[in-house]
Chain A
Amino acid sequence: QKEVEQDPGPLSVPEGAIVSLNCTYSNSAFQYFMWYRQYSRKGPELLMYTYSSGNKEDGRFTAQVDKSSKYISLFIRDSQPSDSATYLCAMSAGAAGNKLTFGGGTRVLVKP
């Protein structure tokens, strides 16, 4: 069993819809949770960063962490074709800048 599980998709949605992504994990030591967006042949771009349980909102993006269930989510409102990419969840223990454990990534397609 992988430490971080993420549905690979692809997840196809019409433009303007809400994109819902999630990851589950098994290591209770994880305290810092990140979401990265990766376009083809590019490095990951940090979207959201949260500590412990709770919600965080930034523009069209909302990240949720439920440590009791070992479950994290990312919601993208008013999705645009430019949001089409692979979304990676990542986690670390101890500090946000420690080495990360990544989920496998979910490929998202937003159709105009």
Chain B
Amino acid sequence: GAVVSQHPSWVICKSGTSVKIECRSLDFQATTMFWYRQFPKQSLMLMATSNEGSKATYEQGVEKDKFLINHASLTLSTLTVTSAHPEDSSFYICSARQETYNSPLHFGNGTRLTVT
């Protein structure tokens, strides 16, 4: 089945630093990937749609200059949290879409970010 790998699974950083999270589709090509954020005991909230070779599309209320997304290849999208603050601490999850007709989304195992 479709496998989406996310790295790192857990990261702690100091306030003001930047953190990069990688999302890879291991056995398929994905022109579109999605980045979600999940707070404790809450559901997933879509942050942005990442498109290979073009700019990401951000959801309303998500700061594009703070959450930088790069989708430079058909198997890799990265999310960089710039100048992180404690309120950015959350569980970040990516998903990727297979390019076969009407394939559902598969998710990575998430990255737990803690900003101290």
CA gap between A42 and B9 in the complex, in Å: 9
**Is B46 in contact with A43, judged by CB distance below 8 angstroms?**
no
Q: Does B6 contact A (CB under 8 A)?
A: yes
Most B Cβ at <10 Å: residue of A41, A44, A46, A103: A44
**Is A46 in contact with B106, judged by CB distance below 8 angstroms?**
yes
CA gap between A41 and B38 in the complex, in Å: 10
Interface residues in B71-116 (C-beta closer than 8 Å to A):
91, 93, 95, 97-98, 102-110, 112
Residue ID in chain A nearest B10 by CB atoms: A41
CA gap between A17 and B15 in the complex, in Å: 48
**Is A41 in contact with B43, judged by CB distance below 8 angstroms?**
no
**Is A34 in contact with B104, judged by CB distance below 8 angstroms?**
yes
In the assembled complex, which residues on chain A have CB atoms less than 8 Å from the CB atom of B103?
Answer: 96-97
DSSP majority for the A interface?
A: loop
Residue ID in chain A nearest B97 by CB atoms: A97
In the assembled complex, which residues on chain A have CB atoms less than 8 Å from the CB atom of B42?
Answer: 104
Contact of B104 among A43, A46, A102 (CB under 8 A): A46
**Is B107 in contact with A105, judged by CB distance below 8 angstroms?**
no
* Nearest 10 interchain pairs by C-beta: A97-B97, A43-B107, A43-B109, A49-B104, A102-B43, A96-B104, A96-B102, A104-B43, A43-B110, A44-B107
Pairs across A and B, CB under 8 Å, 6 listed: A43-B108, A46-B107, A97-B98, A97-B105, A100-B105, A104-B42
Could you list 9 further interchain pairs (A-B, Cβ under 8 angstroms) beyond the known A42-B110, A43-B109, A104-B43?
A42-B109, A43-B6, A44-B93, A44-B107, A46-B104, A49-B104, A51-B102, A99-B49, A100-B95
Question: Which residue numbers of B lie inside 8 Å of A, CB to CB?
Answer: 4, 6, 32, 34, 41-46, 49, 91, 93, 95, 97-98, 102-110, 112
